[in-house]
Amino acid sequence: MPANLLLIPVSIGENEVKSSSPEVVAVTRRLLYYVVENARTARRVLRALHPNLILESVQFLEIDKHDGVDRKMLQQWFKAGYEVGLMSEAGCPAVADPGAEVVRIAHEMGAFVKPLVGASSILLALMASGLGGQNFAFWGYLPIKEPARSGRIKALEQLSRKEGQTQIFIETPYRNDALFADLLKHCAPSTLVCVASGLTTEEEWVKTKSVADWKKVETVLGKMPCVFVMLA
């Protein structure tokens, strides 16, 4: 029997019961093998979805931040024909997430790869921004230090203006306000910037304004996870 790799989205706002699809609920009820970014998070998700699940019977293979996944162990699971779940910390696996290596190994081993439906903060932010969804690029994290940071912002703004391309990026929550300030400092007054904060949580809000209009109001983003969307 061929192995399966099931890509399991995790709620962005830590509300698994409300936001998980029926398919995700059904799959996580039966799976015994998981590749995860963090085993503690994975256990929390499974407890929320299935309070009576015996977690001692479930095996977790963590993805090391430096060395990646244990390739030999994963290959053994696929050779044995196991159903394996790939679970992100939040959102969709392998999108702004280290799971892509796991998916490549699955393809190399001839496993059946099935993505399950779930929330992606990147697409949710793009949907709600009102900016162009026909031509867009996701850049992950921008550089932290200067002059690389301002140079990258200006380059992405120029690319957006030239190609009509919406630019999307994220930041570590405690650096949200610093990035937002840099966007307002280095972008043209007419450039549109969307901030999507706390998506799928009770504190969720999404606002799109020109840089000039953003400068008219005091905005503190704090440490809530944010996605930034820009169109020049």
Domains of the chain (ranges; CATH) run 4-115 (3.40.1010.10), 121-231 (3.30.950.10)
pLDDT of residue 14: 65
**Residues of the chain scoring pLDDT < 70:** 1, 13-19
Q: What angle do CA 67, 36, 113 make, to 5 degrees?
A: 100
Secondary element (H or E) of residue 36 = strand 33-36
What is the phi-psi region of residue 129: left when phi exceeds 0, alpha when psi lies from -120 to 50, beta otherwise?
alpha
pLDDT of residue 217: 92
pLDDT of residue 60: 95
Place of tokens 């944010």: 226
Contact 194, 136 (CB under 8 A): no
Q: What's 68's DSSP letter?
A: B
Over residues 60-96, the pLDDT tens digits come to 999 988 888 999 999 999 999 999 999 988 888 888 8
User: Rounded to the nearest 5°, which phi and psi values hold at 34?
Assistant: -135, 140
Compute the distance between CA of residue 93 and CA of residue 110 in angstroms, rounded to an integer. 19
Contact 223, 178 (CB under 8 A): no
